Every structure is written in structure tokens, then in C-alpha cells.
Amino acid sequence: MAKTNSKKNNTPITFDYDVIIIGTGPGGEGAAMNLAKHQKKVAIIERYHEVGGGCTHWGTIPSKALRQSVSRLIEYNANPLFSQNNQSKQLTFQDILSHASAVIRKQVNLRSGFYHRNHVEHISGEASFIDKNTINILRPDGSTEIITAEKIVIATGSRPYRPADIDFKHPRVYDSDSILSLSHAPNHVIIYGAGVIGSEYASIFRGLGVKVDLINTRDRLLSFLDAEMSDSLSYHLWNNGVVIRHGEQIESVEATDDAVVVHLDSGKKMRADLLLFANGRTGNTADLNLPAAGLKADGRGQLKVNSGYQTEVDNIYAVGDVIGYPSLASAAFDQGRIAALSMLDNTSNAQLIVDIPTGIYTIPEISSVGKTEQELTEAKIPYEVGRAQFKHLARAQISNNLVGSLKILFHRETKEILGIHCFGENAAEIIHIGQAIMQQKNGGNTIEYFVETTFNYPTMAEAFRVAALNGLNRLF
């Protein structure tokens, strides 16, 4: 039993656990593992029948597994060694789902082992607050259990936003979770929402030869990216046959047995085999009975936290998608780890790195770290640009992955690297080389590192040397 002292009479209060964590996604896992390593008694609650959270079962893992299969299919069909006699290979969405399912099983087994080996008790059921230290668990068999803890972590993740006026029960209307249960092969898909999820699925479906209409509610794709990267993605999707409509809003959706018709505010009508609604996400807090713990979520189901991920109730912490930005699986794990450190030591100064890398798994993928050209220009920071085109790299020519580029932004005077942006195959892997240099202190972060260092040849990493030389040649 975990114990703490009552503020009134200094008598010990006995709890069942030191910490209860709600949710087994990356945020919950990060907190659980760190607390367990510090000999805390931890329970983690998961309402789904397997651990891993949305990241493993509906989000990051399955979508990236799908993308990998489609990317290899495209590569196969584009390679003259394999596409002799013009007989290209075809796959359906159902064909590639089997690979995703296999990856999910491996991830579940791996993560279940983590909890078992570290003596974290895994409880199946739906959690809700009775008070700030007490959790009610509704078990899958309908029974209930009440457990208590000194501290509680909310790591319940998020779910796709579903407007009330769209019938998501109709077999032609999907969100990014339910699309994984698609049982037929569509010829034409409308994707509403051109954010990260919408853009990734546009690449996946188009790679399978499906007609894709991508409706963007904004005036450009992924506007948080460096404009050059955003433009590259827009061009590549357009060049591969994706029809992108910018600045549009859905007015209504008409779903029938034969098709789905999307009516836009602009008066346009679009018809396809199915609609994938991918416009926004909501924090999973509605079923937690937050008022009983003294908490209230905002309109998007998200909770406010301080730098140590502590909510307005001092013994309750929150991490991952349920707190909003940056809504990345990588960041969520670190948030859980940092929240655990805050619980162990309230003077802890641990925090996320400033420059968090982003990976967007379109085809080709995009990855960035640091500032964009637009941000540097607005801040009036004198920067220069170094570029490397993948088509000029021997490794890219060997692998026939010629689409893409690497861009390094650096300070003209100090040569400090300010931002790195990559578009192309394996961009999310390549970016970490530059990220590692950006994290160096005491003058170690300069673009000259890439000129002075010998790279393996031929490699994609050589793009950093090529881009560095290109940038330094621009200085005068």
C-alpha cells in the first residue's frame, strides 16, 4: 500500500497505489516505465482489450504500416527491373491491412512485456473519477472496482472529431479510426481535411490507384511547414493525380447505397465511393467524470497543464494528445517521462527539447526540425539556405528515389543551424543527423560540421554535406 500524510492531523493515508495511469499509449507508457524504475507501485488502466492506445491500434502504427506497403508497391512498379512487359502489380486496401495487423500484434506483445517485466499492474476497464484520488473502473464483464492512488496521470489520448450532422454509421462514411475496418475496394475517395492524417491517407489511396479528392479547409497544405516543403507536397500530390480543393467547407453529406455526395459551402458537389472525414481531433475526456476530481476540459476535450504536466488539481497530471500541441507520439512518451520526474521530485526542471522534429508520412515523406524560412524572415534573423537535391545523390540514383531535397537554414554570421527541412524517401530518418548537431552546445552547432566530417559514400546522409557546401558558397 502507498501512504502519504494527512494535512490536518499528520496521520498516514493509505492508498492502493502510488500512481494510477489512465491510458496505455505512449504518454501513459512513458510515465509508467519511469515510475516503475523508481520502485513506485503503479497501475495502468486501459479500456481497450489490448495495450498500446490509439497510437498502436488506430493512428501512428497502422497508418505508417499501410504507407510502407504502398510505398514499396510504388517503388516496385516504378523499377524497370520488376515492371517488364508493362505488367504492374496491384494491391487493394484490404491486402495491405494484413501487414498493418501483423505490426500491431507485434507492438502489443512488446508493450505488454514492458508492463509485465516492470511489475506495472495492467487493469482492463473504463476509468472515471470518484474524487481526485479515487478511480472507478467499469470492467468488461460489467462489474466495477474502486482503486485509489496518491497521484493520477491522465493519458487517454484523442479520437477523431465527428460532427453530429454526419452519419458515421453509414457504410460509406469513415473517420481515421473506422477506415481501418474498410471491407471493400473503393475506386474513388473524398478526404475532408488536408492536415497530417488527411494528407497521409491521400498518398496511401492514390498509391493504390484510387481516385482521390482532397478537400482542404485552409488556403495551403500543412501551413505549419516551411512553405517550400508544403509546395513540394502539393505539387507531388497534384502530379500523381490527387485533386486538391483549397478553402472549402462541408455544408452537408448525402450518403446512399450507391455513393456518397459531399455538398460544399461554395455550392460545389462531389461524388465518390466513400468519404474519409479527417478534420480535427478531440481529447478523450468525456467519460472520465472530470468534475468529480475538480477538473474541466476545454471545448476540444483538452486539459491545461504546467511545465511539469501538472493540472489545476495538484495530484493529477496529464500528457499526450489530451493536452493538445504538439500531439506527437514521440513527444507524448517524453511528456510521460517528464511528468514522472515531476511526481518524483517537484523541483525537477526536466522539459521537452525546444526543437521537436516532426515526421509526416506522406509519399514521399516530410520531416522538419527548427525554424522555417517564414519564421526567420518575420523575426528578421539574417539566414542563408543550403540545398541538396536527392536526384544528384548517388544513393538516391541507385535506389531510384530521385524525388526530394534537403534544406539547411543557418545564420549568416555565426553559421549556427536554425532549421532543417527534408522532403523525400526516409526524410524522417535523415533529419535526425541534423537534429543531433543542432543540439550541440558551446559552439558545436554550426553548418561547417557537415563539411569537416567524412560521410559514408554512397548514402542519403551525404545530402547534409552537399547542402552545407551549397549554403556556404552563398556567403560573401
pLDDT at site 86: 63
Note the pLDDT tens digit of each residue in 119-154.
999 999 999 999 999 999 999 999 999 999 999 999
Distance CA 210, CA 187 (A): 5
324 has binding-site annotation: no
Domains and CATH numbers, the chain: 2-159+282-344 (3.50.50.60), 173-279 (3.50.50.60), 364-472 (3.30.390.30)
pLDDT at site 4: 60
Note the pLDDT tens digit of each residue in 220-267.
999 999 999 999 999 999 999 999 999 999 999 999 999 999 999 999
Q: What is the pTM of this model?
A: 0.93
365 has binding-site annotation: no
Distance CA 424, CA 396 (A): 10
Q: Is 394 left (phi over 0), alpha (psi -120 to 50) or beta?
A: alpha
Distance CA 198, CA 279 (A): 8
Q: What number is the average pLDDT over the span 387-406?
A: 95
Instruction: Please list the alpha-helical segments (H only) found in 133-263.
Output: 196-207, 227-239
Q: What number is the average pLDDT over the span 349-372?
A: 95
50 has binding-site annotation: yes
pLDDT at site 394: 97
Note the pLDDT tens digit of each residue in 29-69.
999 999 999 999 999 999 999 999 999 999 999 999 999 99
Q: What number is the average pLDDT over the span 385-407?
A: 96
Note the pLDDT tens digit of each residue in 155-199.
999 999 999 999 999 999 999 999 999 988 899 999 999 999 999
Taken as a whole, the chain contains a residue count of 476
38 has binding-site annotation: no
Query: 52 vs 84, which has greater pLDDT?
Result: 52
Q: What number is the average pLDDT over the span 15-38?
A: 97
Pull the grid cell for residue 157: 489520448
Note the pLDDT tens digit of each residue in 362-385.
999 999 999 999 999 999 999 999
Pull the grid cell for residue 172: 460509406
Q: What number is the average pLDDT over the span 433-461?
A: 94
Mean pLDDT, the chain, integer: 94
Query: Which residues partner with 421 through β-bridges?
Result: 368, 407
Confidence of residue 297 (pLDDT cuts 50, 70, 90): very high
DSSP string, 369-437: EE--HHHHHHTT--EEEEEEEGGGSHHHHHHT---EEEEEEEETTT--EEEEEEEETTHHHHHHHHHHH
373 has binding-site annotation: no
385 has binding-site annotation: no
- What is the dihedral sign for C-alpha 359, 360, 366, 370? negative
pLDDT at site 3: 59
Query: 309 vs 82, which has greater pLDDT?
Result: 309
